[in-house]
Structure 1
């Protein structure tokens, strides 16, 4: 009898916990192999037949798809946010951008096309495999550091796909073309023409995209920008805030005490979940 009572009391607690799997993969024709990703499914996923909004959560340089699971404690934080009503139940997809070549962008020579993989293969795969709503309103993207840079670029390239974008401590570099060329060579891209470099700079500089883009299209995405006051990337994030103000692009801008650390990003995540949920809800 005692065993059954313990199970009875334990079940509601278990039912309030989401499910995480960081050992999933998708076969990529574009990248030529298997690509890993992690998923968080909300507590009521298995008990329902409904479809859910989705957050694509991007890791930083040096981590992989398990970063937000292991260091970001995404399961605990999402469970608590959903349980408290701060966030609506959602699926969270965490892709790997650290295998082979590191980064979320296509490479300048076109020999590694991660951005194409993300939009043409990963998104269709997971949005078919899981019960995910596919309208812009129910899709968001967020990420830290390198993933914050990816968040900016993905939402600026495809504002038609994302209702919200939340770059955290985003890697926004103030690079002219020569500086970008030096960084590309350092990363292994050694052969490209001047025109390829010019096109690449125009396409993958978040500041240039905001400076030269259509404010109405950029503003169709809800923006939440967060960077610590001791973060070495503060300058680029501050300039993005100023530029968006100048171009009258609505956005939220947060500066809190902290640096480029998991402690900072774990504190950011509940606010991100709250922010993206505001678009997922009906008001």
Structure 2
């Protein structure tokens, strides 16, 4: 009996240690936003060991596509399974993954043209500071990355363009990259905004190729870029045009075209590559 009394505590300590090392996902967390005037949801992945360690971790902001919410990457993207495997295999470094909800109130990752719905301001001024104060995140450019699919791929591209000081790497997947002429843009929005100067400012900031004309190229070069889009994806052309423009401007980037379409099968295969790519950036 003495042996049993000695071994049982050791058994339960070992068992609890194993459970403590498992990753955890919370997909219905909330925070208050003064900018948007509402409560906002987000999901978070905490890597194995987070619960009992004292270390801080790099962070990946992972954006969903149109029609999904913060649970998209959790449910359909299988982020926990894929990240766990990448960290166990050593192909990626353990990190925290934050997945915000951009499908409440109004869909999208940007401020609207009247600056009445200010989602981009919310992301940078409220979401990021809140998350990075609540979790053990290394809150510096070197250890911060962003990625996303479709609408979230467009958000990834423009967020890294707008704030290259915040991200060490950006990985747009099957990105929705807007490219229209200014005349067409004016026709679309002139009923809402009469000031052509205001329209021009918004146009310059939200058109993929135009960004490469007006942005400080040296600042953009401080971000490590990784683009991935399927050869049967309807957004293939926009991604290819950005790739060509970046090549002409000698902006280093990786550009992948694989067999596939605009679906979760493709993006689940992309995520391990993204985790490996941004991990290399974290280690530099």
TM-score (norm 2): 0.92
**Corresponding residue to 2:218 among 192, 213, 216:** 216
Correspondence list, 1:99-118, <5 A: 99-118=104-123
Q: Distance in 2 between matches of 1:13 and 1:182?
A: 60
> 2:151 aligned with 1:146, yes or no?
yes
Q: CA deviation at 1:240?
A: 0.6
* Greater CA drift, 209-218 or 89-98: 209-218
Correspondence list, 1:76-115, <5 A: 76-115=81-120
Q: CA deviation at 1:211?
A: 2.6
Aligned length: 277
Q: Distance in 2 between matches of 1:214 and 1:255?
A: 27
Q: Distance in 2 between matches of 1:8 and 1:259?
A: 47
Residues 16 and 79 of structure 1 are in contact (CA less than 8 Å); yes or no, is this contact kept in structure 2? no
> 2:263 aligned with 1:261, yes or no?
yes
Q: CA deviation at 1:271?
A: 0.4
Give the number of the structure whose alpha-carbon radius of gyration is greater.
Answer: 2
Residues 37 and 93 of structure 1 are in contact (CA less than 8 Å); yes or no, is this contact kept in structure 2? yes
Q: CA deviation at 1:177?
A: 2.5
Unaligned runs of 5+ in 1: none
Residues 141 and 151 of structure 1 are in contact (CA less than 8 Å); yes or no, is this contact kept in structure 2? yes
Residues 21 and 52 of structure 2 are in contact (CA less than 8 Å); yes or no, is this contact kept in structure 1? no
**Corresponding residue to 2:52 among 35, 38, 47:** 47
The CA deviation string for residues 72-118 of structure 1, in whole angstroms up to 9 with x for no partner, is: 00011010101110111101000010001110001000110000000
Q: CA deviation at 1:192?
A: 4.7
Q: CA deviation at 1:280?
A: 1.3
> 2:237 aligned with 1:270, yes or no?
no
Q: CA deviation at 1:7?
A: 7.0
Residues 64 and 151 of structure 2 are in contact (CA less than 8 Å); yes or no, is this contact kept in structure 1? yes
Aligned partner of 2:64 in structure 1 is 59
* Greater CA drift, 264-273 or 208-217: 208-217
Q: Distance in 2 between matches of 1:233 and 1:211?
A: 21
Q: Distance in 1 between matches of 2:183 and 2:116?
A: 21
Aligned partner of 1:201 in structure 2 is 203
* Greater CA drift, 230-239 or 200-209: 200-209
Q: Distance in 2 between matches of 1:12 and 1:184?
A: 58
Q: CA deviation at 1:133?
A: 0.6
Q: CA deviation at 1:65?
A: 0.6
Residues 108 and 192 of structure 1 are in contact (CA less than 8 Å); yes or no, is this contact kept in structure 2? no
Aligned CA RMSD, in angstroms, stands at 2.0
The SS at the match of 2:278 is helix
**Corresponding residue to 1:237 among 229, 232, 239:** 239
Q: Distance in 2 between matches of 1:183 and 1:79?
A: 45
Residues 64 and 96 of structure 1 are in contact (CA less than 8 Å); yes or no, is this contact kept in structure 2? yes
Aligned partner of 2:75 in structure 1 is 70
